[in-house]
Amino acid sequence: MPTAASETLAALDQLPPFPPVALRMLDALTREEVETQELVQLASADPVLASEILHAANSALFGLPRRVKALQHAIVLVGRNYLRPLLFTAALRAYLKAPGRSRVFQDWWRHSLAGALLADGLAAACRKSRGEAYTAGLLHDIGRLALMMAVGADQYRAVAARRAPASVLEREQEQFGIDHCQVGKLLLEKWELPRELAEASAQHHDSFRGERTLASLIRLACSLAAALGFATEKSNPSPNFEDWRAALPEGLEWAQRLEPEPLRKTLEERINAYSQI
């Protein structure tokens, strides 16, 4: 039975809130020149988050001989590359505890990290802000997770796996009265994150038009992540890399030269390292 949009929205409202400090830190990290002191100040307002950062700095990943006790030292040590996935995971703390997350959640988490890493690389190739692209990549599919949690993972997956209508957004609209791009936009606006991030989430399933906006870069990163095997929904066939390359609009010659295997291997290694923190 299809659900009315108002009912889905009411269920979305019941979801646990995202920790504001983790979101503010992700927002601050979209700026290349963000000062460590600003991050320390923000993190200090959330003792659980601060202890998670300290824990990460003292993890085997960094192999330090002595314990790190100061938050400032921990933030410098963990560095931007690990801090962002750490904050992302911390922001999802309440969702991590939700029943039925397991496999579905893992696929979504890996897709989001792959999207962030690819967005970062694509931004460097297009000379756009890498910090903004990374955070936009991390959060672009947040609407899918929220929708999944609001309606129930099993019900969501059953809809995602249907064959008709052809697009996942149409299937979501038909069943839940709203699609995950709209949900993502609503959430990012509610959390008062930059407008560009909300727009990128709203438009990440639009067809390529070749324009050089953050939204089109995220669209590219999301579809590339899926084509490299990091899809959010395994039951839903994703285009393979060759199909992805063939669908690229003109003006992206550099993307035509990407090699799928080394790229997939690098993503796999980075994401596996992130899962250790």
Question: What does the binding site for Fe ion look like in residue numbers (CB under 5 A)?
Answer: 141, 222
Nearer to Fe ion, 89 or 238 (CB): 238
Which residues are CB-neighbours of 160 under 8 A, at least 6 positions away? 168, 171, 172, 233, 235, 236
Distances (CA, A) of 173 to 4, 103, 137, 142, 147: 9, 24, 23, 17, 11
Nearer to Fe ion, 24 or 111 (CB): 111
- Tokens at residue 60, please? 């085997």
Q: Report, in Å, the least distance between residue 140 CB and Fe ion.
A: 5
Nearer to Fe ion, 145 or 222 (CB): 222
Q: Report, in Å, the least distance between residue 112 CB and Fe ion.
A: 7
- Tokens at residue 240, please? 């393979």
CA 277, CA 53: separation in Å to the nearest integer? Answer: 9
Q: Report, in Å, the least distance between residue 144 CB and Fe ion.
A: 5
- Exposed / middle / buried, residue 189 (Cβ in 10 Å: 0-12, 13-18, 19+): middle
- Tokens at residue 89, please? 């995971």
Q: Which residue is nearest to Fe ion (CB)?
A: 222
Q: Report, in Å, the least distance between residue 17 CB and Fe ion.
A: 22
Q: Up-side HSE of residue 48: CA atoms within 13 Å toward CB?
A: 11
Nearer to Fe ion, 52 or 141 (CB): 141
Q: Report, in Å, the least distance between residue 185 CB and Fe ion.
A: 12
Nearer to Fe ion, 24 or 101 (CB): 101
Alpha carbon 215 to chain centroid, angstroms: 14
Residue 59 sits at φ, ψ, to 5 deg, of -75, 165
Q: Report, in Å, the least distance between residue 201 CB and Fe ion.
A: 8
Nearer to Fe ion, 82 or 230 (CB): 230
